[in-house]
Amino acid sequence: MIFGRALGLGEESVTTLGMAGMLQDVGKLRLPVRLLQKLGPLSPREYLIFKAHVDYSLQILSASPQATPQILEIVGRHHERCDGSGYPNGLRGAAVGLLAEAAGICDVYCAMTRERPYGEAASSQVALDTVRAGRGITFSESTVDQFVQCIGLYPVGTLVELNSGEVAVVVAQNRIRRLKPRVMILLGPDKKPNAYPKTLDLLYDPPSATGEPYVISRALQPGAFGVDPSEFYLA
């Protein structure tokens, strides 16, 4: 829904997008549990079975009078891709539709940044890089650009290492310069916890201990150095 508003959609479309996002995978209830919890890669046959969750979702939702045609369209197309590589119908380009494409981008990003039975959660940076790699291929250039602009290269909750060696968590975005968010410094250069974490707005180039302005050196994996960003208040 946040992305929908960033795209300039009206409230009705934003609500539709949010409802579809919550329901688009309900068909997985009809898939074998062992398939959903498999630790390794799916075999070609297993992948065919897995893709059937889209049809199952449509079957379940079609029985509800509250499921509008637009919700069903998004649910049915959120795995379609602009280059025709998606499923279930291999739609291309504009045939996918903006709302379904938006749902698809969010689905990819959220799936990667959540812990899964077959792997740990990827950092937001890795997930965004994956989305950006599909720019002009699996997703349209304009939609990817707007998604990156909406989320920011360092989304709220991202652990980052600064050029000082300190570790911080992103607590707010700067709309003017996405590479310079507001951060809370949690660990010192020696990677020991700060008793009183301070907040810095990188937009204003605050100086580090060496006098050089603070900059983000790299994004870190969730849980790096034993830090759980969810333990901190993120405004």
Looking at residue 168, the DSSP 8-state letter turns out to be E
DSSP 171-189: EE--SS-TTS-EEEEEE-T
- The sign of the torsion formed by the CA atoms of 28, 32, 37, 38 equals negative
Q: Which residue has the tokens 């799916």?
A: 42
Which contacts qualify for 113-116: CB closer than 8 Å, 24 or more apart? 113/222
Catalytic, 28? Answer yes
Q: How many CB atoms lie within 10 A of CB 216?
A: 20
- 157 in Cβ contact with 121 (< 8 Å): no
Distance (Å, whole) CA 19 – CA 71: 7
Q: What are phi and psi of 135, to 5 degrees?
A: -65, 120
Indicate which residue of 28, 38, 51, 191 is catalytic.
28
The catalytic site residues sit at 28
